[in-house]
Amino acid sequence: MSNIVAIVGRPNVGKSTFFNRLIQRREAIVDAVSGVTRDRHYGKSDWNGKEFSLIDTGGYVLGSDDVFEAEIDKQVELAIDEADVIIFMVDVESGVTGMDEDVAKLLHKVNKPVFLVVNKVDNAKRAEDAVEFYSLGLGEYYTVASINGSGTGDLLDALVEVLPEKETVVNEELPRFAVVGRPNAGKSSFINSLIGEDRYIVTDIAGTTRDSIDTKYNRFGFEFNLVDTAGIRRKSKVKEDLEFYSVMRSVRAIEHSDVCLLVLDATRGFDGQDQNIFWLAERNRKGVVILVNKWDLVEKDHKTTLEYEKAIRKEMEPFTDVPIIFISTLTKQRIYKAIETAVEVYNNRTKKIKTSVLNEVMLPIIENYPPPANKAKFVKIKYIMQLPTPQPQFAFFCNLPQYVKEPYKRFLENKLREHFDFTGVPVSVYMRKK
């Protein structure tokens, strides 16, 4: 599970440019996965072999300047609460502003590492101007220019030095299912319908991840840990509808789980925030089951379910091989089906395929549909193996890996899905030099 680094600061200081630079620089990108661009406020990055999750709070503030102040305070408080390290970004062009001082005041109370980063410092004159930021009382600062990346190396060196060592949770071999989704979609009701009055709870492991509650659950022959994000320390100060809040919360739960049960509100559809959470799970290569809740409230005819499902899959492209289950926590309709499906997805995610079987099935397919030739050079795939990772990743060994393009990799992924059932699980395909 990686550390969370949050970038805070007032609008227009360059947080997003800096964020994009960190997650897209070649050596700092962990996964260039399709769909990454859909959600620009969360990414994984690594530096000197240390991986961390990066959150850009800037992407979540909408509204006019006077609305900004309250929102920014909320976000900084949340970031302070949820992140392990905070980057506070200011802008040398405008100097110290009142808003910067407000943010600094909030950060003074924190006992977590805070890095003051002065942006847009691209010449010696500006480096001199940066001195005035000492007045914020946060000690040393780092100067960067996010536009061309100068200074980011030194900052990252210092940053990974202070990242707390994450204790790896001992794998108890029990699957971990996280219940995620936007506020008011019915996460709590889903968990209560499962656990409810039933006395099947074996143990409560409080705060395994510092802030999500794990419940060991054993029923109908299934045993798993339920990671509940719904009932976590609700902050009175935080408005429940804050998109940033749900994402921040989901990040920890998702990173800490094997399968995510994404609860949607049927009356609202699969909207931006649900999609953010979905791509978060996909990017972290977790299993996913989509639960469309409150299905009892939807007017239906014989086509409704199919059309609804089609609309969701359209938004999920290209990762569409995901189970969608229509439930009602009120009438308990299909909630055990949901758990059964999560168990199947967990089994798909941990599935190991023998190398001999893999080659037997895939080589004839590749022979019939070889990768397109590139510059009159032919790609020959000789051998395939599954990598020893917690989730399905496959290496295809060939003579010219650099010539195999995305569409062909997707073709291979689809064939793997067709023959080996990886429903609900992201599959990674790598080309390696023979």
> What residues are designated binding site for GTP?
9-16, 56-60, 119-122, 181-188, 228-232, 293-296
Read out DSSP for 342-404?
HHHHHHHHT----HHHHHHHHHHHHHHSPPPPBTTB---EEEEEE-SSSS-EEEEEES-GGG-
Q: 424 CB contacts (<8 Å, ≥6 apart)?
A: 259, 287, 288, 289, 321, 322, 323, 341, 344, 345, 348, 349
Structure tokens that stand for 60 in this block = 């979540």
Sheet hosting strand 114-119, strand order edge to edge: 42-47, 50-56, 3-8, 85-91, 114-119, 141-143
Q: Which residues are annotated as a binding site?
A: 9-16, 56-60, 119-122, 181-188, 228-232, 293-296
User: Which region, left, alpha or beta, applies to residue 294 given φ > 0 means left and ψ of -120 to 50 means alpha?
Assistant: left
Comparing C-alpha atoms, which of 409, 422, 334 is closest to residue 34? 409
Structure tokens that stand for 248 in this block = 């921040």
Structure tokens that stand for 66 in this block = 């006077």
- Please name the amino acid found at residue 84: D
Q: Give, to the nearest 10 degrees, the angle between helix 187-195 and helix 335-349.
A: 100
Q: Kindly report whether the peptide bond that precedes residue 370 is cis, defined as omega within 30 degrees of 0.
A: no
Q: 194 CB contacts (<8 Å, ≥6 apart)?
A: 217, 219, 226, 335, 339
C-alpha angle 372-375-379 in degrees, rounded to nearest 5: 45
Residue 104, SS3 per DSSP: helix
Q: Which residues of 58-75 are buried (b: 16+ CB within 10 A; e: fewer)?
A: bbbbeeeeeeeeebbbbb
Distance CA 181, CA 18 (A): 28
Distance CA 229, CA 165 (A): 23
